[in-house]
Amino acid sequence: MTSAATPTVGHDIKPDSTTHRLPLPDEVVPGRVLWPYAISIGLFHIIAFAVVVPWLFTWTAAITMVVGIFFFGQGINLCYHRLLTHRSFVVPLWLERFFVIIALCCLQDTPGKWVAIHRYHHNHSDHQPDPHSPLVHFLWAHVGWLIIRNPGAHNIGVYRKFASDVLSDRFYLKLEKTLLWVWIYIAHAALFTLIGAGVGWFVGGDLASAVRYGASMLVWGVILRTVLVWHITWSVNSITHLFGYQRYETGENSRNNWLVGLLAVGEGWHNNHHHDPASASNQHKWYEIDLTFYAIKGLEVVGLAKKVTKPRHVRQAERQAERATAAMDGQPSD
Ligand SMILES: [Zn+2]
Ligand SMILES: [Zn+2]
C-alpha cells in the first residue's frame, strides 16, 4: 500500500449520522453542473428504462447483464480499488491493464482520477474535504458529487498528490490526456451489440432477429448493466457511510452493510475496509462473505496474484513471531 493510500487517523470529531452533518466541500459551488457527466448519467438511465419494452427482452441479454455485473464490477472492486488504489496485491502488468480495460467498460472514469479521489476519500472520510460524504446528504454522496463541480477535489494537484504512482504509467497517463477511455467503452458496446446480433441471426435465421437480439444486448447487456454497476459502486459511498454496523471505531462513519456487501461482492464491509484498507480481504467474520477477495485468492492460486496483503491481525501476529524468532536467534545458547 502506498503512503498516499494510508488513511489519516485520529480525527477530532466523532462522526454521528444523527447529530453530525457536513456542509458541501468548501470549493463546491451549488448549481455549477458538470454537464458531460450529468447528461451521460441522465441519458444512460433513460435508455436503461427501455428494458420495460417486451420486444427488447431476450434471455441471452438478461443473463449477460447478470454475469456482466459481477465480471465488469470486478474491474472496479478488484482492479481500481484493491489493486490500484490500495496496492493490496500485484499482478503482471498485462493482466493489470486488462483489468483496467474491464474497469473502463464500467464508465467510472479513468484509473488515475478514480484512484486519486478514493485515496482523497480515505484521507478525509466524513470530514472536510471528503469529496462524497453522505453526512452532507445521501444524494450528494450517491451521485451529486459526480455531477456538481468540485475544483477542490478534481484538480491536477490532487491527482498528482494522490495518484502519482498510477500516472507514472504511460498507458494510464494517456487515458487522462485523450478520450481513449470513451472509445474503449464504445468499442465494447459495439462488440456486445454485434455478438447479440450474431446470436439473433443464429437463433432466428433472419435480419429481424439479428436486430432484436443486437438491440437487446445493447440495452440489457451494456446500458442497464453499466447503470446497475454505477449504483452498486455509488452505494458504497452513500449507504455504507450511513447504514449498517460498526465493528471498529475508525474515526468516521463507515459501516458494514450486508445488502451492499452482497451486491458489491465484498465492498459493503466498508467499516472493516476503513479499519484495514491495506488488506486484500474485507472479510473479518465468516458471514461477511467477500467474493472479491475469493477472486484475488483464485488469481493467487494460479500464480497470477502475488504479495496478497493479509488482514492486519495476521500481519501483526507474523511480525511478532518474526521478532520472537529474531530474539531467540540472538540469545546465546548454553
Ligand atoms: Zn469510505
Ligand atoms: Zn478504499
Report how far ligand 2's centroid is from the alpha carbon of 330 (Å). Answer: 40
Report how far ligand 1's centroid is from the alpha carbon of 47 (Å). Answer: 30
Residue 276 has what pLDDT?
A: 97
Top pLDDT among 334 and 109 is at 109
DSSP state of 88: -
Q: Summarize pLDDT for 206-247 with one digit per residue, the tens.
A: 999 999 999 999 999 999 999 999 999 999 999 999 999 999
Categorize the per-residue pLDDT at 2 as very low, low, confident or very high, splitting at 50, 70 and 90. Answer: very low
CA 60 to chain centre: 26
Report how far ligand 1's centroid is from the alpha carbon of 304 (Å). Answer: 28
Any residues with CB less than 8 A from the CB of 233 and at least 6 apart, and which?
Answer: 73, 76, 106, 108, 264, 267
Ligand having the closest approach to the CA of 125: 1
This prediction has a pTM of 0.90
Report how far ligand 2's centroid is from the alpha carbon of 81 (Å). Answer: 6
Report how far ligand 2's centroid is from the alpha carbon of 42 (Å). Answer: 27
Ligand having the closest approach to the CA of 124: 1
> 184, 218, 183, 213: which is closest to 197 by C-alpha?
213
Residue 327 has what pLDDT?
A: 84
For residue 313, is pLDDT > 50?
yes
Report how far ligand 1's centroid is from the alpha carbon of 205 (Å). Answer: 50
Q: Summarize pLDDT for 87-143 with one digit per residue, the tens.
A: 999 999 999 999 999 999 999 999 999 999 999 999 999 998 999 999 999 999 999
Report how far ligand 2's centroid is from the alpha carbon of 284 (Å). Answer: 16
Ligand having the closest approach to the CA of 141: 1
The pocket of ion ligand 1, defined by CB under 5 A, consists of 254
User: Per residue in 15-37, is it b (16+ CB within 10 Å) or e — as a string?
Assistant: beeeeeebebbeebeeeeebeee
For residue 281, is pLDDT > 90?
yes
User: Per residue in 255-270, is it b (16+ CB within 10 Å) or e — as a string?
Assistant: bbbeebbebbbbbbbb
Ligand having the closest approach to the CA of 81: 2
Q: Summarize pLDDT for 26-50 with one digit per residue, the tens.
A: 899 888 999 999 999 999 999 999 9
Report how far ligand 1's centroid is from the alpha carbon of 130 (Å). Answer: 9
Ligand having the closest approach to the CA of 270: 1
Task: Provide the mean pLDDT of the chain.
Answer: 92
Residue 329 has what pLDDT?
A: 79
For residue 3, is pLDDT > 80?
no
Q: At what angle do helices 225-238 and 59-74 cross, to 10 degrees?
A: 40
User: What mean pLDDT comes out for the span 2-20?
Assistant: 42
